[in-house]
Amino acid sequence: MRLRNIPRAESVLRECKEVVKNASEHQNHWKKVFGNDHPVHIEIGMGKGQFLLALARRNPEINYIGIERYSSVLLRAVEKYENLSADMQKPLPNIRFICMDAREITEVFAPGEVEKIYLNFSDPWPKARHARRRLTSSDFLALYDQILTSDGTVEFKTDNRVLFDFSVEEVKASSLFELTGLTYDLHHDSSMNAGNIMTEYEEKFSSAGGAICKLVAARKGSAAGCI
């Protein structure tokens, strides 16, 4: 599906103070951006923002950064954030947004600066020649390893079984990560589904009876046990 360009997106994002411009200038200083020493969690490919906004409301002791490549998509998340702030009569202090390509994350975050990475319903890039573009490919796992804390984790959800199987094999073959959680039917797995927050897409897909897959991968050598 072709992404619809929204002409006003750039100007709206430019005016929103929660959208961080020149993000690489803040590498190794994200806690200063938030004004506290709380852990930093990021979502890559945040879509319309429902997932990250819910997390930020639920966990005020954690700083959240939503990353989205396309300004027209990020616009929807920012608008949702602004509507939520208006309803609450105050802005959420623990959330920021970045419009960037995920391949640039090591230029934006320093080693050990991120505690958790969320990947939700990422582009499956179905053609074999595009496998390295998948956010769970070994190329991206190597990038995540560079910015995560020693006990950092990656959480990945998808409805695409082909992409999920690929992702499981990439983690199993990795010298950097190990599987610590795995389910092929998240909403019927009481342990893995505990505390789950659904994205907009997840709500729609699961209401139609579709199964959601989820894995959790931890950096090797962390305290988390593999499965």
Catalytic residues: 123
201 known member of a binding site: yes
CB-CB neighbours of 146 under 10 Å: 15
127 annotated as ligand-binding: yes
Is 101 known to sit in a ligand binding site?
Answer: yes
- Rounded distance between C-alpha atoms, residue 175 and residue 134, angstroms: 18
**Known binder of ligand: residue 64?**
no
What is the DSSP secondary structure assignment for residue 45, as one 8-state letter? Answer: S
Give dist(CA 181, CA 160) in Å, integer. 17
**Secondary structure letter of residue 54 according to DSSP:** H
Whether 43 has a binding-site annotation, put simply, is yes
The three-state secondary structure class of 46 is coil
Which is it for strands 213-219 and 114-120: parallel, antiparallel or unpaired? unpaired
Does the annotation list 123 as a binding residue? yes
Tell me whether residue 200 is annotated as binding.
yes
User: Which segments are annotated as binding site for S-adenosyl-L-methionine?
Assistant: 43, 68, 101, 123
Residues annotated as binding site? 43, 68, 101, 123, 127, 159, 199-202
